[in-house]
Structure 1
Amino acid sequence: MTSETRRSFGRIGIWSSSLASSRADDAGRKAIAEAVAELDELKYGTLWIGGSPSPEDAAAVVGATRSTTVATGILSIWDHTAEEVTAAVAALGAESRGRFVLGLGVSHGPMVPQYKKPYSSMVSYIDALDDAAPPVDAGHRVLAALGPRMLKLAAERALGAHPYLVTSEHTAQARRTLGPDALLAPELSVVLDTDLDRARTTARTMLAMYLRLPNYTENLLRSGFAESDFDGGGSTRLLDALFALGDTERVRSRTQEFLDAGADHVALQVLTAEEGGGGLPRDQWRELASVFADKL
């Protein structure tokens, strides 16, 4: 990966499932377009469209921005065929001017009836992207990778990895597995609330769903947590390792831990109690842009 590619991602990005406009009504789509245009002006390096987005979601965000890199975080290989995706990426080519990055993942067995052989299925999907005309080249795709095999695949067949719901210690291990040249862009969930009990309640509301998905719990067990850490929506130890809870300076400090551990870029997901973890928290995005001004 070149220094130019690292610069194109920036050090700090925003991750939000609420940027997927295909799930919104007309008013919602307008609000999303206005929000991403502001995020572009705030100079965030990359906007990650979360929650199994579609190629159409990516096209909408690309169309509403001018300079920010736009990435799917993460498109499920079970929801869209490689042929469909390559056609969509090709259509985005001129408008995106190389700003679009295809983030791919295998999703989760409990959510996908046809789920099987995730590693082999990802390899086959990447082969199809390579064989397409035009192909989606390795320099414009990243993989959702947690375990060693998928991380190695991300280094060999993609620009790098976009791990979700991980610790800074996992980031350090992922860097060792990926090697020095692959992109490493973990997600970090943020709750801007100095009442730590309330902040942890907000975090647990979001985390509860993920603790029902084996890919995440198995990775957390590999990372040194115990089954008991999953009880009640997550132990304090687990929450404090996975989230940045507190004021903006605490968020900056936690983000720096991930950068120091080997991340090239950190994708911040802002959770709010009012929105149940979703929505478009534009005030918080502005606040964080001010705190990270030297990194944007």
Structure 2
Amino acid sequence: MNATEPQHTAAPDALAALKERVGRYGIWSIGLRSEEPGRRAEVNESAAELEELGFGALWLGSNTSAANAAPLLAATRSVTVATSVQNIWQHDATASAAASAELEKSHPGRFLLGLGVGHARLVDGYRRPYGALVEYLDALDAAGLPAERRVVAALGPRTLKLTAERTAGTIPYLVTPEHTASAREILGAAPLLAPELKVILDADPAAARALARERLAPYLGLPNYTNNFLRHGFTEDDFTDGGSDRLVDAVFAWGDDTRLRSRIDAFLEAGADHVALQLIDPSPRDTLPRPAWHHLSTLLT
């Protein structure tokens, strides 16, 4: 590291190693974070299967922590397991750093702490999110968690710049290839850029878009997402009735195998290092869609 470089900046060689570990594709899933004792064996088997299928990272959806990652790390050999995301308002930074350090001891280099600021309407005591995130990163620094072992779900330019300066990169949720291109320009070449992308294995436009709107509608009441869409060319009209076709088609990959691969590739071509793929089907969100994951893996070889 250059002597003039801030000590909380991730070293370029560490960032390159992280990109190599996670590879180009990962799986984003709420089901993998399950804490139900009766599902533990199925979750562990699913994680091991995803590793065998070649996915480089497992992104544990919703508000997750090192405790959710620990069983999956024990059930697998080399795949990266990451939170996507841990809400900074609901998890103490010092305790999070300590939990991360414990996983680093038992599974070196395999746990990644993904952080997010959440949404004002969903979090009690919400205040200026940027300042709160800076304070949280300061606390992680003080507790000894290296920058290369943490990432942030950043959307806006200011937060993207912060992630480039103080973390290993960003894991933006509900974004478009255009956002990815803009994020890469802000981040520079070195930090990890790993957007989440929702995938529907259905080639029927009406059915696919209906399911997409069902899942998209709740997010359209959250300004963090709608403001980001407005920054990238969408209008208020795109947020009505569960989302316009234009918006749905931008943030979901749906269709036959050729179309799906093209939509995934669009994020890589826009500058993503890695795409975190979330399978969407009519089942409950915590379902483990193992046959669909297997099919998806065949598109990525």
Fold-level match, TM-score > 0.5? Answer: yes
What's the CA shift for 1:276? Answer: 4.1
Amino acid paired to 2:76: T
Which one of the candidate residues 129, 144, 154 is aligned to 1:145?
Answer: 154
Which one of the candidate residues 272, 280, 284 is aligned to 2:288?
Answer: 280
Aligned to 2:82: 71
The CA distance in 2 between the partners of 1:85 and 1:18, in whole Å, is: 22
Aligned to 2:115: 104
The CA distance in 2 between the partners of 1:111 and 1:223, in whole Å, is: 25
Which one of the candidate residues 251, 255, 258 is aligned to 1:242?
Answer: 251
The CA distance in 2 between the partners of 1:20 and 1:112, in whole Å, is: 20
Tell me the SS of whatever aligns to 1:102: strand
Cα shift readout 1:23-77 (whole Å, capped 9, x = no counterpart): xx22222221111111111120111001111221011221221111111111100
After TM superposition, the structure 1 = structure 2 runs for residues 145-294 of structure 1, keeping only pairs within 5 Å, are: 145-273=154-282, 275-293=283-301
Aligned residues: 288
The CA distance in 1 between the partners of 2:110 and 2:80, in whole Å, is: 5
1:17 maps to 2:34: no
Aligned to 1:94: 105
| Contact 1:171–1:262 (CA under 8 A) maintained in structure 2 | yes
| Contact 2:153–2:173 (CA under 8 A) maintained in structure 1 | yes
Tell me the SS of whatever aligns to 1:210: helix
What's the CA shift for 1:282? Answer: 0.6
Tell me the SS of whatever aligns to 2:162: helix
| Contact 1:74–1:105 (CA under 8 A) maintained in structure 2 | yes
Unaligned ranges ≥5, structure 1: none
Amino acid paired to 2:86: L
The CA distance in 1 between the partners of 2:177 and 2:191, in whole Å, is: 17
Amino acid paired to 2:290: R
Cα shift readout 1:115-165 (whole Å, capped 9, x = no counterpart): 101001001100111111xx1100111011000010001100000111110
TM-score by length of 2: 0.93
Aligned to 2:124: 113
Query: Over aligned residue pairs, what C-alpha RMSD do you find?
Result: 1.1
1:6 maps to 2:14: no
Amino acid paired to 1:17: I
The CA distance in 2 between the partners of 1:162 and 1:106, in whole Å, is: 12
After TM superposition, the structure 1 = structure 2 runs for residues 26-41 of structure 1, keeping only pairs within 5 Å, are: 26-41=37-52
Aligned to 2:5: none
| Contact 2:31–2:285 (CA under 8 A) maintained in structure 1 | no
The CA distance in 2 between the partners of 1:89 and 1:268, in whole Å, is: 24
1:129 maps to 2:140: yes
| Contact 1:206–1:277 (CA under 8 A) maintained in structure 2 | no
The CA distance in 2 between the partners of 1:158 and 1:54, in whole Å, is: 17
Cα shift readout 1:93-114 (whole Å, capped 9, x = no counterpart): 2222211111001011011011
| Contact 1:272–1:278 (CA under 8 A) maintained in structure 2 | no
After TM superposition, the structure 1 = structure 2 runs for residues 32-71 of structure 1, keeping only pairs within 5 Å, are: 32-71=43-82
Tell me the SS of whatever aligns to 2:221: coil
The CA distance in 1 between the partners of 2:26 and 2:145, in whole Å, is: 23
| Contact 2:151–2:163 (CA under 8 A) maintained in structure 1 | yes
